[in-house]
Structure 1
């Protein structure tokens, strides 16, 4: 095996030839015991060789992938079979990109190759529509005729993951907000001064509005994940949207000791899109930037046209480390505590509804810029694609 690695390569890229893989596959296809055992168990089983190439799939695996038999995919790797977005980032395919460093499936297989059974959760983003699969992967070593193989068992845990994660974050945010509201009402009952009471009432109104926003945001995200959200096209002005969001966050606790402003170069453009989604996405961008910005730092938001698209961007002076960059759009990943972290994931999810894209650049010298780009006119034919 070659010892040469590319700079971003995680695992070596060597594969067996088609003939060698077919020979290995016959070891299992000719085994009546294997066919009977794995063929009838109501689970998804895939067997790979030491180079992580698929040589056997049971009935459950074929049904999961919509295949009639193994012929067309023999020798490919699991991420290539399932359509993982990272499987085409390097010429070596599945398991060879830098992003694969954090892949639960790849790491489970590696552990099994050290004669240790392993289980790991894996979030796999699909390249065709950027939807995602949440999988639990078991990997167990197997030796036949002195050749090393790994039996992979796959379970879909998408609903389990989604419900647990969304509920945890939702209740965390709701409890935090209601605690602040309770404290404000307590202060209101204790103070007799008219001016102080007036200020506390204003504060209570803001907190109540925030509570409503969090509930609506949760409902929107659940609808988006379940593909139940119905787009409403309306005409909005780009500067008006930015002004509106700036006013909302001007009184937010995150803005204390920080400056939030609109870039003077921002373009005034009429957009035909879903205003609710745009506001939610840009709000998440600003919130994340404020959380990342240093004390006394400035967060700048702006917009410009690129052909028939509009690009919104948010800049702050914070830097995102490389290990976080590789996972930043995953639903279950957060740079905060385990009860936080839907911001960047929801940006990407909601942007996909608007047929948009999300990306970012980051450096220690220039900070971080998140960009979202959408069609200026979201037509029906784009929505239905």
Structure 2
């Protein structure tokens, strides 16, 4: 708004300035016209009683030129028709001794008046020099009159400065008032926009977003209305997305459960069918065969129970019971169940504090170490290293093995539920580990070289 006011002031000042120039030009032209007419009429009167010849003009005028010059406050020069100085109220100088050739060339009966605008030496002021013929009673030119007319702009300039002063005072008052008004207006507008920005910043898919109550009709109201409409659509889309994700999750879980349960059910069915076809009550080994079938069925039932437990763990994580603890001590406890000559703990600091559930940390380390041992091929001595480091923000864990490694073509699927590199198990171990780590805003990665081994790395931020 202040920019608009300043632009308006500048535009009005520019218009006033050009208006002043136009008025000054009109004033000087009319003033020149009046003086010129008065002088010409005076000299016409002096030579009107008889038909004056050019050579008689100087004697006819005589000392009258001084009186006329003083009365009109203007210099007057007379020249012969060929441009030579004849008479003047002042002695001639090199510039006034002759009529300029260009003017003399263009001056004729049809063009008997020429104006030339010149600048005064060492000054910004200008003057108009008029050259024209003086005629006798026979309308024959007898001489060339010249008078330089100084543009008198003093009183106009004074009026202009006075007007400009009043104008600037008024504009300054307007500018101050508009500036104060703009400041209050922008303060109110900024406060409203900050409130909207605060709401926008806190808008999230999982948060309870409240519409903005705004009962005013001003520049901000369309923005508030658009935000509330967007919020309503956002809520509808969020609800639909959450419902779709839940449905997809249950469908995927159902498919995984069905797939994992179907795996042990198929051999159970085949074994029962085979036993039914070969069943002979009189067979002396009937008890041994029945005992073998029973053991096999129990083993498959245990597999189904294990699968069901694994899916239950994945779908429902245990309640965290976080506490500030030394992860080095937890790691030592996790390593105790494994052969000490095949696993080692690599640490620099004896005290690494982290706010975490000790049972969950133990579960993460135990699962990774178990996977490391299971990756060792027959005939190779296991060598497992658990490395722990820390900095100001994070605690870093590494589990390094010398196993078979993970084939490159399946590395992108390693954390996918139901995917497993082993012939047994539910394929949820690494998926559960990843989920546990992400519960603490951490991350897990790995690097594997097939035939040489794998390094699993995960990091968990320290609590504030």
TM tier, smaller: 0.3 to 0.5
Larger strand fraction of residues = 1
CA radius of gyration, larger in: 2
TM superposition score normalised by structure 2? 0.35
TM superposition score normalised by structure 1? 0.41
Larger helix fraction of residues = 2
